[in-house]
Structure 1
């Protein structure tokens, strides 16, 4: 019986969600894939494009994924919260891969409010409820003080993976 395989997939416009994804990958010995899209999202115009895409619930045109989520026992999907919604690149990824997920978990970075709305949207887009979810304020990530939130999240994920492994062994 092998260890459960974990994939962390994320989009990061400013690098904050990337920092969180990297920390989680180290803690969980996970593979990582960054979602890349074809839209220019830097600067003031890029920020405006992000907000408009969120309001319109428009998925982005993204680069095809290199890693197949169906090969993983758990896929963690991370997004920045844009105007109270999931980012357009993550929206596209979830729509494209929803049939391939065994189990999912969600994490997000945000400046203020909107985490629960983003999680609700991610659940609908993925077509399943997450085994765990975690919201972290961008300022906490940037200052390196997001440890408590991450420890709770990783602990919940590890419990889920241990349960999953036990069920696999019983079969």
Structure 2
């Protein structure tokens, strides 16, 4: 039985979602791809662009992905929550790749509310339900040691690993 291939894909404006993605990649021995878009999102004017894109449910114009999600058993997609919704770069990625996901998981970082609505939106954009999902408050990530972040993500990683083990068992028996 071969090892499952896992891809962590994320967008991060402030670095919080990046920290989560890096930790998850280490815990899952996964490849990582950061979504990059062509819009300036730094500073106050960048923040306002994020909010406007979120309200309008507008996908961003993103740099083409370098890794093909169809080559992975599981793709775990991470987004910051913008005004109660998925970020526009992640919205674009999910729309562009919705037919390529075998299995998918979601994670998000947030400062307030909106995780459940964002997960619902991600499910619709991806065209399938996640095998697991995880929301993490930005305050739980900032200034935290790597070991503490791993403990915080252990339940999510455990769910992902259980799904992969079950999936491999089904694939092996067919």
Q: TM-score range by the shorter chain?
A: over 0.9
Question: Of the candidates 133, 155, 158, which is equivalent to residue 158 of structure 2?
Answer: 155
Q: How big is the shift at 1:143?
A: 3.0
Partner of 1:99: helix, strand, or coil? Answer: coil
Matches of 2:91 and 2:152, distance apart in 1: 24
Counterpart for residue 169 of structure 2: 166
Counterpart for residue 51 of structure 2: 51
Matches of 2:98 and 2:143, distance apart in 1: 34
Matches of 1:156 and 1:131, distance apart in 2: 8
Counterpart for residue 66 of structure 1: 66
Q: How big is the shift at 1:148?
A: 4.4
The answer to whether the aligner puts 1:97 opposite 2:103 as a matched pair is no
Q: Gaps spanning 5+ residues in structure 1: where?
A: none
Matches of 1:43 and 1:143, distance apart in 2: 21
Matches of 1:60 and 1:139, distance apart in 2: 26
| TM-score when normalising by structure 2 | 0.96
Counterpart for residue 20 of structure 2: 20
Matches of 1:114 and 1:9, distance apart in 2: 20
8 Å CA contact retained: 1:7, 1:75? yes
RMSD (Å) for aligned C-alpha atoms:
0.9
Counterpart for residue 3 of structure 1: 3
Counterpart for residue 83 of structure 1: 83
Matches of 2:111 and 2:26, distance apart in 1: 24
- Alpha-carbon deviations, 1:21-45, whole Å to 9, x = none? 0000000000000000000000000
Aligned residues, how many? 171
Q: How big is the shift at 1:147?
A: 4.2
The answer to whether the aligner puts 1:134 opposite 2:134 as a matched pair is yes
Matches of 2:95 and 2:131, distance apart in 1: 19
Matches of 1:25 and 1:16, distance apart in 2: 14
Q: How big is the shift at 1:146?
A: 4.2
| TM-score when normalising by structure 1 | 0.98
